[in-house]
Structure 1
């Protein structure tokens, strides 16, 4: 019988804090019951004043950035939120939502299941942090030179390796994602469009000759970077912005029979 060696257990000598603290939210407790709040503030701003005087976009931005946006920043944020509100029925996350909806999964589970797919590396939040860091690093280089250097290597690199070299850009179903390209053009007209979005658009233009362009994750990452969001927050923000579309598609099919979705025929199953 073999012996298993275990590392010696040692105390880290790290004292735990006695109370959880947050800079984001402050609640005023009731005089009669300290567990019930009567008032709340988000980064010092009274919740009721925000409800009265500010938009949802403003408070969304405040919640993650710790400050209210300028008018131009709010306009860019709102435009992106609308552009990404629905990943579309071709997206794997939306297909997941539709499948669980028609499969009579509890409607409360549609979002967490589909959102997990939307958080993946393929066209999902898992690609956002890397892309934000890439855009922040490269936005001071010449996009034409960068594109030329990458495309010169195409003879020795496959599509996946090219897309690894330029995260946030590539092909979708063998071609350029035209919807994302058009959304980027719309966002580029706004006053708050910054260095990352402009650099990415210039790069996408250079890549078009080889059939590469913006991916939706690249566009989202560029706007998040220009609005000052931290790269680690980018993936979660991407999930949040696409959530309404996922739920809508799942609920649409939740009251329909399972035959409302196609069933793959036997001849399309291949066992190698």
Structure 2
């Protein structure tokens, strides 16, 4: 048994703030009770004014950016939100939500569980990496980047760079359509347009846009920090995850596939 080693306990020479501060939210308290907010402001905007004059997309943008979007920014952010609002029933995060629902887990746990799966490295976890890829690459001609990848990728174009690649061995057709649509909007800026050209060049390799790349391109053009990318991607997918999970909540366990008897191997070990 190892003897314990006496260690000198040192005092942390750090000064902590007396209270937490935020630039995002201001609560104006009631005169007779400082713990009750009478008015609240989001980056200086009264919440009642925002309710009266803005939609939810504008307020989400305000929360993250500290300013309201232009008309073009609002439109492209809103269209991206709609395009990616549901990962679809074959996505692993959606399957997790469906399993939670059919298993009758308490509904409040549905979204956290599904969002955790959505946070995987090939889902929300990839969006930040895709934004950093754009930062390093968009000043080069798209054809040059494809040529450089060809020297290293060989025949494997499943995931040559974050946000682009193949889906089940071919082009992600829906993401390609969304890319064409979004790049045609007035709010499309240099990174999304570069990504659209890059995706079209990758089509020769049976590859192209993935939804994570689309989100990364739009987030980049909107000026969002890459660290926001993953959580925001999860937020966009949340309504679809909840809908699929709650759809299964009313159904029996037999509504989901299960391993058939012939696939079991029973061994008698003595």
Short-chain TM bin? over 0.9
Query: Is residue 48 of structure 2 the alignment partner of residue 53 of structure 1?
Result: no
- What corresponds to 2:176 in structure 1? 181
- What corresponds to 2:66 in structure 1? 66
Which segment is superposed worse, 258-267 or 125-134?
258-267
- For 1:24 and 1:6, locate their aligned partners in 2 and report how far apart those are by CA, in whole Å: 46
Distance 1:75 1:265, change over 3 A: same
Q: TM-score, normalised by structure 1?
A: 0.93
- What corresponds to 1:109 in structure 2? 109
Offset, 1:152 = 3.0
Distance 1:5 1:125, change over 3 A: farther
Offset, 1:197 = 0.8
Q: TM-score, normalised by structure 2?
A: 0.94
- For 2:223 and 2:177, locate their aligned partners in 1 and report how far apart those are by CA, in whole Å: 23
Classify the secondary structure of the residue corresponding to 1:38: strand
Distance 1:238 1:25, change over 3 A: same
- For 2:176 and 2:220, locate their aligned partners in 1 and report how far apart those are by CA, in whole Å: 18
- What corresponds to 1:138 in structure 2? 137
Offset, 1:169 = 0.6
| Selected match of 2:249 from 243, 246, 254 | 254
Offset, 1:107 = 0.9
Q: Report if the CA contact (8 A) 2:157-2:205 is conserved.
A: no
How do 1:1-272 residues align onto structure 2 when only pairs under 5 Å count?
1-3=1-3, 5=5, 8-122=8-122, 124-155=123-154, 158-159=156-157, 163=159, 165-268=160-263
Offset, 1:269 = 6.5
Classify the secondary structure of the residue corresponding to 1:28: strand
Offset, 1:4 = 5.3
Offset, 1:25 = 0.2
Q: How many residues align?
A: 266
Offset, 1:112 = 0.5
Which ranges of structure 1 fall in alignment gaps of 5 or more residues?
A: none
Output one character per residue of 1:111-163: Cα deviation in whole Å (capped at 9) or x when no partner: 000010111112x11111111011122110010111012123233x7456xx2
Classify the secondary structure of the residue corresponding to 1:207: helix
Classify the secondary structure of the residue corresponding to 1:192: coil
Q: Report if the CA contact (8 A) 2:87-2:240 is conserved.
A: yes
